[in-house]
Chain A
Amino acid sequence: MHWLHRLGPEAQSLNEIHSKFLQMIQDGRHIFDAAANALLGGTSPQVIRNDLFETDRRINRTEQEIRRQIVVHGSIHGAATFPALLVMMSLVKDAERIGDYAKNIFDLTKVGLDLEAGPREAALVPLKDKISKLLVRAHGLFERQDTAKAREFLSEVVELEDECDAAVEELLRLSGRNTSPAVLTYRYFKRVISHIGNVVTSLVVPLDKLDYFDEPRDKQ
């Protein structure tokens, strides 16, 4: 009776796209950890360089595969599937951007970052760990389509984004030392956090509101 499960409108196709997207999130966590550890954790950039770029290429390939599958799926199944496919089209971009920001973070290893320069610099290490855990949790939430915990998750995302904004503001006001690497790191961290947030947003808001989970805060 196995052949029966392959027939029918639902079939395996969306599940396959879903799995590939989860793989992108997993790779996103891997590449973020690698880059952030090279910048903040003392891992030698030379050691992880090849792995980091290979992971980024894999993320990009998966994004393209998913896009192709989305076009095929939409052509076969028609308009009924468009909302889900449009959401996925947007989400793969978010997952791909995590890879890009990880590379930006890795590029900062060329100039280096002094963690003992001040409290904001020192706070980057626990923030890095929180982001890494966010990526793991986002993967789990998306896999289980856990809408209840998604809202809780998004409020944490907003808090972390605020923390990054406050740090950038404070660092920019400082004078007497070079705060640019720390500012850029906070900025990149915030972008990674936002992209993870966008992914989880898809669990709780309709298509047109995608990416706008922090809108009420902006209006205040």
Chain B
Amino acid sequence: MNGIATAPSERPEPPTQLQRTLGVLLRVALVLLLLYFFLVAIQMMGGSIKMMGKDASEGLFAGVNNPFAGLAVGILATVLVQSSSTTTSTIVALVGGGSLTVEQAVPMIMGANIGTTITNTLVSIGHIRKSMSFRRAFAAATVHDFFNLLCVIVLLPLEIAFGFLAHSAEWLTSLILGAPGAESAAHGGVHYDSPIKVAVKTAFKALQGLLQDFGFEGTSLAVAILVIGIALTFTCLILITKNMRTLVSGPLEHALNRSLGKSGLIGIVIGILVTAAVQSSSITTSLLVPLCAAGILSLENAFPIMLGANIGTTITAMLASLGTDERGGLTIALVHLCFNLCGVLLFYPIKRLRRIPIQAARFLANKASENPFWVLGYVAGVFIVMPLLGWWAFGKLQ
């Protein structure tokens, strides 16, 4: 099959089994190295804000004291970088570095969930010339949007009123790390870091020293580390996703082929596994769009895979929390997990509730296929205008 459409003399020699195995091993090693740099980047972001001092960090994040402003910032940041993993990792770094509180960060995490859905919506627009395909593609893309929007509409007010996500995540953090201060007490008051954290801090300190040698000090040093940290996080996540996608493309294809025509839990599990492997829900959900457009995957069968993708993507924040100093990093990562789990439990098991995002997506897709201005209005409204207005209006309310 390889090179089937080329003349015999032009066909490259296929790689041998040994070459393939070595290629895979090298790629696995590269991903591990990138994960290490990703953790270093998280440490750099958290550490740099800490270096700026309490006043500076409070000033930086004063605008997100209002939960709706935080939600808007989460959406906008994710739309800008087209990656919820980058946004949530940054949030984890900020909470883990003590610059943001868990309460401030929860709406931002919810916003990241909404913002990330713009990617597959944009992918679906590629089908706009073919009405039927576009209708299916746009419905497949926006069902994820509607699900995330509905989750925020239901869960954000509950979170503001009762803080149930933050409390649940704190309880889970205590289960994993023990009660606050317990670890130190167990080691006779001496703070103990895991080998990963030690390795991450060593790299961070080395970079700090290097920048100091170049004359960076005080605020300029903190800003330089922050900028490098953000750039490194972004780069590492892109490269991890790219390499993991190549590594797992075979099993991913196998899983997708098996999931066609199946629904429910299998889809959710596939969504979780695929997304956890490629570290990007956008990859998973964007892959489903052409399959739905071609009509080989129904919206009802794509929906659980998307829900699984929402859960699977939380692994990035969990990994990021390994690079933070404070337990808040893990707590906010667990908030991300709890939020997405609650969403699935809320909207999937009961058929009538499950149909809400599906019907909403179908309605919008029908409208959009009749008039493209619906597409423009929807994308601009949900992902740009509303968050900007929310940020502007609620950011002033302290």
Contact = CB atoms under 8 A, between A and B. Distances in A.
Interface of A: 1, 4-15, 17-18, 67-69, 71-77, 83-84, 86-88, 145, 147, 202-207, 210
A76 B21 contact: no
A76 B249 contact: yes
A76 B287 contact: yes
A10 B20 contact: yes
Given A75-B291, A84-B5, A8 B256 contact: no
Contacts of B291: 71-72, 75
Given A8-B24, A71-B294, 20 more contacts: A4-B21, A4-B25, A5-B21, A7-B251, A8-B20, A9-B246, A9-B249, A10-B2, A10-B14, A10-B15, A10-B20, A11-B250, A11-B254, A72-B253, A72-B260, A72-B291, A74-B290, A76-B249, A77-B249, A88-B4
Contact of A8 (B1, B6, B246): B246
Contacts of B17: 5
Interface residues of B, number: 34
Given A12-B250, A76-B252, A7 B24 contact: yes
A87 B253 contact: no
Nearest to B253: A13
Which among A8, A147, A205, A210 has the greatest number of chain B C-beta atoms within 10 A?
Answer: A8
Contacts of A67: 296
B5 A206 contact: yes
Contacts of B14: 10
B3 interface: yes
A145 B260 CA distance: 30
Contact of A12 (B20, B254, B287): B254
B212 interface: no
Contacts of B3: 84
B3 to A, nearest CB: 7
A145 B3 CA distance: 10
B199 interface: no
22 contacts: A1-B21, A4-B25, A6-B250, A6-B254, A7-B24, A7-B251, A8-B24, A10-B14, A10-B15, A10-B20, A11-B253, A72-B253, A72-B291, A72-B296, A75-B287, A75-B290, A75-B291, A76-B249, A84-B4, A145-B1, A202-B4, A206-B7
B389 interface: no
B213 to A, nearest CB: 42
Contact of B250 (A7, A75, A84): A7
Nearest to B260: A68
B251 A84 contact: no
Contacts of B254: 6, 11-13
Nearest to A18: B1
A84 B246 contact: no
Contact of A11 (B7, B249, B260): B249
Interface in B259-298: 260, 287, 290-291, 294, 296
Nearest to B294: A71
B23 interface: yes
A219 to B, nearest CB: 21
A6 B296 contact: no
Contact of B8 (A14, A17, A76, A204): A204
B184 interface: no
Contacts of B24: 4, 7-8
B251 A87 contact: no
B219 interface: no
Interface in B295-323: 296
Interface in B354-371: none
A185 to B, nearest CB: 33
Interface in B1-33: 1-8, 14-15, 17, 20-21, 23-25, 27
B5 A207 contact: yes
B174 interface: no
B5 A202 contact: yes
A72 B259 CA distance: 11
A6 B290 CA distance: 24
B247 interface: yes
Contacts of B247: 7-8
Contacts of B294: 71
Given A4-B25, A68-B260, A72-B260, A15 B252 contact: no
